[in-house]
Structure formats: C-alpha cells, structure tokens
Structure 1
C-alpha cells in the first residue's frame, strides 16, 4: 500500500512537472513566430493572421473556451499612421481563450503578437527600415511564448484554481495599444469580474546585471503580500507604475490592477536585428516560473482593490 501511494505521488509530480514552462517549447514558439517567413507580423498582413491562427491552435490544444466575438477571435479595424504613405485601415484581431474554473473572478494574462512587419508602418528605429523584415523575436514573440506556456500550465496542471483565467493575444499593440483598448471598450467578459491583469512584453533578453523588471507593484495594496518572501533563480525588481510599457497600460486606465514583466531595452529594439538566435529561453523559463509562483500567491487572496499610482 505504501509503495502504491508513493507511485501515485510520483506520477502526479511527473504529470504536473511536464506542464511547467519549458525552454525548448519557448524556443519553438519564438522560432516560428519570429522566422523570416512571418515577415515581421505587421498588422493587416497575411503573416499577422498566421500568427493569430498559431495562437488559436495552441488555445484549442489546451482545451480553452473561445471568448471572442467570432469563436477565439475578436476582430477590429486598426488605424495605421504611417510616415511613408497616407493613413490606412487594417484588419486586426485579438485572440481570446477562457479557462473556466467556475470562479467569481478572473485573472487576465496577455501579450501582443503583432510587430513592425517590413518597416513601413512606422516605429522602426532603423535608419532605412523600408523593406527590411523586423522579426520581433523579443518584441513580442517572447511574450506570446510566455502566454502560451502559462495557458498550457494552468489548463493542464490538474488543479481547479480559485480563479478563472482569460488568456489574450492582442493585435495592433505597436500601433498604440489598439487591440487591448478595443477589448476593454468592447469586453467579452465584464470588467468588474477581472481581478488583475498580467502583461508580458519583451521577456526574452534577460540581462543578469539588470534583472527582469515587474511593473505595476503600486497598482494594488495586495501586491506586497503577493511578493513577500518570493525567491527566484533570476534577479528581479519591482516598479510601482502601471500605466506604461505595453497593454497593461490600457487595463490600468480602466482601474484594473496590473503586473508588467519586461527584461529591458537593447540595441535591437524595433530594428531588423531582433532575431530568435538572440533569445535567452532558459532565463525566460525561469521568469515564467517566477510568474507562476506570484500568481499562486495571489490566488490565495481575495479580489484585489485597485490603487492609483501617482
């Protein structure tokens, strides 16, 4: 009987461990999303639609429930203010999957999947960007890989958490947070049912001297309790502000507490050199493990109260 119990415990541990974030899967996601074939995932491009389909396929694989307006998709029109040619409208979409744990409140985890395409939609920091593929491996294939690993973990860990999860891949972030703002103005889940939002944008270029920054620490009085005594194999630091950086700013504007994970700027930011071979997948795996520990701490608490950061 004792051996049988030990066997069950070992089996459960093995099954759970198999769902934890994996540097190998992270690399696979990034190498697909940031390959030259994806042409930089510019908003409105066929490759941007392929990236959305890739996220949808993973959400289906993990058994998430569609929570867009068209199955997993929430289509919208993005406005592109380009320097080279006049303004134009592009088709875009958020990709939304829901993990229903029959809870009263929901945790939102998000990352944007678009980038700068071939350098013609503005925002490139290259001196002559037009026609050059901006692969966006760190910005933000790394965040999408993190989103998919978090969806995999919480949907496959054989635990019914005390909160639901809403996993969102945002479109048109590079054009001014248009996807997240569109969702928040046209929510497919009531905003009052959202506990807090976690955003991952550029988490693939870990610098051990800097560490990973976690913004939004001041957006709820509960965050100090969540972070208390949390340790990690990587260096991390917190910042109080919640209204800058990425799609987290749109949620902060709606008075929803946020956390924003970011490994910092680098010389390839918004340039054609942001390629998959420069990603530190092992460190990203550790960042996601840290994120899981923080989420598990947060789920022990009641619904958070929003705090404005001066």
Structure 2
C-alpha cells in the first residue's frame, strides 16, 4: 500500500512538472484588454495609458518577472511636447507644460554577463490627433490593436515562456532577459530613447534587442518583414535556418520608425518584426477582432526558437548598416494610398486607399500595382517615392497600374 501511495505521489509530481512547462497563452486576452475603448487609445500621459501600464505591470508580476524600473516596474519620464518638428524632444524634471510617459520594465536574472532586450511599445494615438489618418469630423477612439497591442501581447507571451523554461531547466540560459513596454513611441520613440540615455542596466551588457511593432495582421501569404538583419553577422543564417512558416522580407538597416532604432544607435544589434500596414493603420478601425491570432502565435514560436538558437553564441558582434531612411526623397504631394511595404514584386502595390484623394479620384483601387508614374518607371518603393518627389500640388501626371492581368492607364491630379 505504501508503494502504491509513493508511486502516486511521484506520478503526481511528474505530471505537475510537465504541466508547469506549458506557458499560459494570453495573447488574445492581452490584446482585448489593451485595445478596449475604456483605455481611450492609450495616448502617452493619459489615464488610459496609465491603466495600460498598470495592467502590464500586473502581468509582469504574475509571470514572475523581477522589477527593473526606477519605481517597481515603472520608469517614468517627463518631456515638453515639441513645437518644432525638426528639433529633438526635451526631457525635463520641470512639471510645467510637461507630459509624463511610463516605460514598464521586467527582468529575468539568470546570473549571465549579457542581457537580451525584448520590447514593444504600448502607447497609441488616443482619439487621433496629428498622427491619425482618420478624416471624418467625429471624435473616435484609436484602439491600436495591431499598433501595438499585438507586439505587447507577444512580448508577454515570450516572457512567460522564457521564465518557465529557465525555472524548469537544469542549466540556465547564457543570457538574462529584459522585457520593456515602451511609452511615447508614437510621439517619436521617446520611451526607448529615454531608456537608452537613462538605462536601468549597463547598456554594454546588452547582447541584442528584439522589437515587435504591428505583428497582428499577417496576410494569407504569411509574409513577415524582419529589419536589422545586417546589424550582426549571426542574424541572417539563424533566421533562415529556423524559418518553416513565413515568406520573409529581409531588410538590413538598423534604423527605422520604431523603438529598435534607439538601441541600434547605442551600438546594439537589433531585430524588428512587422507584418505590414493595412487600411486601418492609425484609424479607429484597428480593433482586436481583426487580428490574426494564429499568425501571432507562429511569430511568438519563431522568435522563441531564434532566441534559443542564439543562446550559445556568446555576445553577438555589432555591425553598422546603411541608413536607408536618409535616402528617402522629400515630396510635396501624396497619392493618398497605403503602400504594401511587404510586396516584393515589380512596382508599388496599393494596400489601401483613402477617400477623396488623388488616388481615388483617378479610380485606383486596393491591389493595383503602380508600374509607371509620369515618365518614371516604378520598380519598387524607392523608385515610386523618387517619382512622386518630382511633382508639386496642382500637377497632373499619367499613371499606369497593373490590375490583375490588365494594364490601366489613367491620369492623377495632385
């Protein structure tokens, strides 16, 4: 009888241990909370953003992460809103006319010499404002489910998985992990910029940084853009050898319009994951029910595998890349479309159009591929922008698009 009881205890303990290895998947629940109307769009410095930061802090605690902010999980920073768009924001301790953002920072301490930063911004546009592409007169909440509740939810999932893995493993990973939910991204990468100048760990110990921004709208062709591949010699082969599910669109540059840029600029290798823009980008329609949760789970699996594969490679070498954003032409007019940044064919594919714009007035539609604008052939995004930069307001130009198997020639008035 004692043997049976002992066997039952051992069996129960074994079952509990195996059960504990399974991290909870709260991706959909996390997105649903962060993108709820009650948070009023999570604009930096608002009660809605504070509610979001409180929620992320509670999730960090439930997962078992250590506090690594300046006040528990929180790293607050105050700044004066910019009046000149060409100047850098001024961080300040003066309370007059300032906005306060709150980075949320959690930590897994494996006693390692190096640390991997895994981050995503959680702020959004509130009721719209300067960054909104919504053109109606009514006031509407911009919930930002894809931008960027999606990235935060996958970050939380990775935190849970990595914490359970390291608690269960006989040997700890050779890296610590710092998880960051950034504030102020929509106002100019403010939270990540502030952390890079006021870090809560030694930045020289950072091995590399993973950033997730808008990873919730994976398209049927499973396209996944990864930026920063050129920032370390280890990245390209590692991503390629572990890829079983995605059509990867690779970009070498460490500079881009998201928080990985702040880390690249302090000589940290970076990887940025992105599933592309869409018609609801920076509009009230970016809601939780429109996300591709199966795709988000695949991205979480992929990043988890990449982290594990890189674990025994020591501290990765950093490499500077060409700053492609410096080569972007300046233009005075726009076509009024959302480009498909993940399109890798010839031309510039339109992923969405806005009402009462040169594009819609010319009869252009979602899915059209611009192959000629004026006298210029359009072969990719850069050639499209170069062609667009030659026009002024009031100009009229011939435009050629491919729609299915048809070639359509029309005119566009800027």
Do both share a fold (TM > 0.5)? yes
Which residue is 1:267 aligned to? Answer: 279
Query: Residue 312 of structure 2: SS of its match in structure 1?
Result: coil
Compute the displacement of 1:9 (Å). Answer: 7.6
Q: Map residues 9-158 of structure 1 onto 2, 5 A cutoff.
A: 12-16=17-21, 18-19=22-23, 22=25, 25-81=26-82, 89-120=98-129, 122-128=130-136, 131-157=139-165, 158=168
* Cα separation, 2, equivalents of 1:205 and 1:265: 8
The change in CA–CA distance for 1:82 and 1:58 in structure 2 (over 3 A counts) is farther
Compute the displacement of 1:78 (Å). Answer: 3.5
Q: What is the aligned-residue RMSD (CA, Å)? A: 2.3
- Asked if the contact 1:106–1:165 (Cα under 8 Å) also holds between the matched residues in 2, the reply is yes
Which stretches in structure 1 are left out of the alignment for 5+ residues?
A: none
* Cα separation, 2, equivalents of 1:129 and 1:238: 39
Query: Residue 60 of structure 1: SS of its match in structure 2?
Result: helix
Q: Select the residue among 205, 222, 233 that pairs with 2:245.
A: 233
- Asked if the contact 1:119–1:129 (Cα under 8 Å) also holds between the matched residues in 2, the reply is no
Matched, 1:303 2:315: yes
* Cα separation, 1, equivalents of 2:110 and 2:295: 30
The change in CA–CA distance for 1:63 and 1:129 in structure 2 (over 3 A counts) is farther
Residues 153-162 or 131-140, more deviating:
153-162
* Cα separation, 2, equivalents of 1:149 and 1:74: 22
* Cα separation, 1, equivalents of 2:118 and 2:249: 20
- Asked if the contact 2:222–2:246 (Cα under 8 Å) also holds between the matched residues in 1, the reply is no
Q: Which has the larger radius of gyration?
A: 2
Query: Residue 28 of structure 1: SS of its match in structure 2?
Result: helix
Which residue is 1:244 aligned to? Answer: 256
The change in CA–CA distance for 1:273 and 1:129 in structure 2 (over 3 A counts) is farther
- Asked if the contact 1:78–1:172 (Cα under 8 Å) also holds between the matched residues in 2, the reply is no
TM-score, scaled relative to structure 1: 0.90
- Asked if the contact 1:119–1:130 (Cα under 8 Å) also holds between the matched residues in 2, the reply is no
Q: Map residues 272-283 of structure 1 onto 2, 5 A cutoff.
A: 272-283=284-295
Number of aligned pairs?
300
Query: Residue 196 of structure 2: SS of its match in structure 1?
Result: helix
Compute the displacement of 1:110 (Å). Answer: 0.3
